Amino acid sequence: MNIIQLMIPKVSTAFAYENDSVRQGLESMRHHGYTAIPVLSDDNTYLGCITEGDFLRFVLKRGSTDMKDFEQFKIGDLLRKDFCRPLKIQASTEEVIEVALQQNFVPITDDRDAFCGIITRRSLLVYLSKQNGEDDKKL
């Protein structure tokens, strides 16, 4: 599998930095309509993902929905680093399928753990469907 062909590159992906405010993260997710986005360090190292649920738990804990209150808190404070496991860009088809079964998207990193982009379940299914169609033609 050529991950680069399936991957949505970083430049076309919504993500947040760990030092972004909670307000910035909420606004980004609302703008893009996603339920989870990758979180990066300042040097673009992949750290994990933040979800709507993470934000909801934060709002409930704070007891406020005033967005101004959220400017003083950083996304890194909410981050569950063990959530949304990344794969290296050299990952096998089997690895991508295994992780995609557990997550809505698979973050892809390079050898330095820098974020490269994501593979969505949809792009994986389209790829596998095309591969299966080519295999059927060979029979």
How do residues 41-52 score in pLDDT, each as one tens digit?
A: 999 999 999 999
Residue 98 corresponds to which tokens in the numbers above?
């295994």
pLDDT of res. 136: 55
What proportion of the chain, given as a percentage, has pLDDT over 90? Answer: 73
Residue 56 corresponds to which tokens in the numbers above?
């909801």
User: Taking a C-beta distance cutoff of 8 angstroms, is the pair 26, 75 a contact?
Assistant: no
Q: What distance in Å separates the CA atoms of residue 97 and residue 102, rounded to the nearest whole number?
A: 9
pLDDT of res. 28: 92
User: Taking a C-beta distance cutoff of 8 angstroms, is the pair 99, 85 a contact?
Assistant: yes
Q: Tell me the β-bridge partners of 114.
A: 45
What are the structural domains of the chain? Answer: 3-138 (3.10.580.10)
Q: What distance in Å separates the CA atoms of residue 28 and residue 128, rounded to the nearest whole number?
A: 31
Q: What distance in Å separates the CA atoms of residue 48 and residue 67, rounded to the nearest whole number?
A: 23
pLDDT of res. 65: 85
pLDDT of res. 47: 95
Q: What distance in Å separates the CA atoms of residue 76 and residue 83, rounded to the nearest whole number?
A: 13
Q: Residue 20: how many CB atoms within 10 A of its CB? A: 18
pLDDT averaged per 10 residues in sequence order, the chain, 139 residues: 87 95 93 93 95 92 87 91 89 93 94 95 90 62
